[in-house]
Structure 1
């Protein structure tokens, strides 16, 4: 029977998978770029694209499911905003997993820099 740490790791991996699936679409990356500047309604987002409003809604649903955007009802409009900490934490976790900082890597990096400095002289 899997323990809680296995379940947490699986949930985190699933979350990372959802984020990368969400980021696999150029339209969704562009939506995130727009939302990085200010919150927007679905209509305001749709006005910036040459696609149907239902397609924009589908993209927003994927981003929301991945935890990259949140929506907030304000009056008769739903405003979408980016969840920057979710994106940053996910990407940071992935980078740490793939490229953990270690002493040999730092030494190798320093040695390469020393060699390139010597080559320039």
Structure 2
């Protein structure tokens, strides 16, 4: 879970996730929303992919990124259980 929180700590990666919440996007699509290089964006996407927060699908010559919704459901459940447990101890 630590790698997930490290991935989410960066505001640029959170913005990428916000964009992917709307639809699957290629690197070219995503770059239109940022002022950094393709290499920098690819680095951020690699971190999100290693944290299992995004998945990829090849369509022709393009790779499309989308949210891995099952992981977000798991994170939500974990966080809910963590804070529910703490709340019930008080």
TM-score by length of 1: 0.68
- The superposition leaves residues 31-66 of structure 1 with CA deviations (integer Å, 9 ceiling, x where unpaired) of 000000100001110111000100000000000000
Tell me the residue number matched to 1:86. Answer: 71
1:95 and 1:21 mapped to 2: Cα distance? 19
1:30 and 1:91 mapped to 2: Cα distance? 19
CA-atom RMSD in angstroms: 1.6
Tell me the residue number matched to 2:55. Answer: 70
1:91 and 1:22 mapped to 2: Cα distance? 16
| Higher gyration radius (CA) | 1
1:31 and 1:19 mapped to 2: Cα distance? 14
What is the deviation of 1:87? Answer: 1.8
Question: Which of 29, 42, 58 in structure 2 is aligned with 1:57?
Answer: 42
What is the deviation of 1:22? Answer: 0.4
- The superposition leaves residues 1-25 of structure 1 with CA deviations (integer Å, 9 ceiling, x where unpaired) of xxxxxxxxxxxxxxx1011000000
Structure number with higher relative contact order (C-alpha < 8 Å, ≥ 6 residues apart)? 2
Tell me the residue number matched to 1:43. Answer: 28
Runs of 4+ in 1 over 2 A off after TM superposition: none
Question: Which of 84, 87, 90 in structure 2 is aligned with 1:99?
Answer: 84
TM-score by length of 2: 0.89
